[in-house]
Structure formats: C-alpha cells, structure tokens
Amino acid sequence: MGGEGGHESAEASHEPAEAGAYVEVPPMTVNLRSGDGKPRFLKLRFILVAGNPENEEKVTEKLPLILDGFQPFLRELRPEDLAGSAAVFRLKEEMLSRAARVAGPGIVTDVLIQDLIQQ
C-alpha cells in the first residue's frame, strides 16, 4: 500500500498548475515606422495572463496604464522588426516586461498574441 501511495503522489506532481486568469484586451492599431514614407499599420489582439485568479482585478484596474506603456514601444517598431517567429517572441517578451513594470512583479505572467496583422 505504501508503494501505491508513492505512485499517487508522483502522479499528482504531474498535474498542471492552476491556470491564471485571462484578461482580454481590446484590439490595438498603431502606426509603424517606415523608411519609405508609406503608411504602415500594426493591428494587434492579445490577452494578458494574470499570475493567479486573484490578480485579474489588479490587471483590469491597471489596464489603461499597461496599454499606455505599450504605445511608445509599438509605435517605434518597423515592419522588418516583425519578420519571423523570433520577432513575435521578442514582441511578447517586451510587452510582458512593460506590463510587469506597471502592474508589479508576478501580476502579469504572460502575453498571448491572438492576432498580429501588418498592413
């Protein structure tokens, strides 16, 4: 019986951790910097992941400040900055860093990109 108990606890350790709360953000459209003078735009739809369900309210309360922190960064992007899958990873990391500065450490734990469209 002791062996079975050990087996059960090993299985329990493989269960997924409790998911955080998801805060949907209204789509953002920003101008991109372009060297050729042609207007370029980025439409971005994403979700912020709160570290735990209790943090969802904190993220929602700080959302205007978080979005304000994203604006200068996103407006400085050039179309070539968004090329390739590594670019999406860098974009997510920068957005997460900026969200954490506003909301506080551990409040926002991830940025889930839903749509990323350049025009």
> What is the CATH number for 76?
3.30.479.30
Decide if 108 is inside a domain.
Answer: yes
Decide if 80 is inside a domain.
Answer: yes
Decide if 41 is inside a domain.
Answer: yes
Q: Which domain holds residue 55?
A: 18-118
Decide if 94 is inside a domain.
Answer: yes
This prediction's pTM: 0.79
Decide if 92 is inside a domain.
Answer: yes
Distance CA 24, CA 78 (A): 25
Give per-residue pLDDT as tens, 3-51: 444 444 334 333 333 468 999 999 999 999 888 888 899 999 999 999 8
85-103 and 56-75 helices, crossing angle to 10°: 130
Decide if 3 is inside a domain.
Answer: no
How many domains does the chain divide into?
1
